[in-house]
Amino acid sequence: MRVVEYEKGGRKYLVQLPGEAPDSDAPKGIPIGPPDIDDLISLPEPFSTRLHNELFARRLFTLTDTMKYQNEVRAALQAALRIDVQTIQEAYQKFESLKAQEA
């Protein structure tokens, strides 16, 4: 068995494949993680995919991982949210620029 990374729908996954299987069989492999938990906690896109990939980047694949590395879970959440903060700040900046032009 060997471990292979693949991407589906913008999300990264790690799976096990038999040694002779091509990488293109990754979607059929034995999942290692991270699991798709969005159906269980109802997160909106694109935040859900960003969080998934942050969990992947930190190799938080199991309940044991999340219990042992709680600071990494927090860091994944913060990293996934950081983009939203930047988006909000950019929107405010555009709003203030438009407001200044009207004055």
d(CA 26, CA 5): 7
d(CA 99, CA 86): 20
Report the amino acid identity of residue 11. R
- pTM, 2 dp: 0.81
Q: Which residues contact 73 (CB under 8 A, 6 or more apart)?
A: 55, 60, 66
Q: Give residue 85's pLDDT.
A: 84
Q: Give residue 16's pLDDT.
A: 98
Answer with the residue of higher pLDDT: 83 or 3. 3
CA angle 25, 3, 26 (to 5 degrees): 15
**pLDDT tens sequence across 11-53:** 999 999 999 999 999 999 999 999 999 878 888 899 999 999 9
**pLDDT tens sequence across 1-14:** 999 999 999 999 99
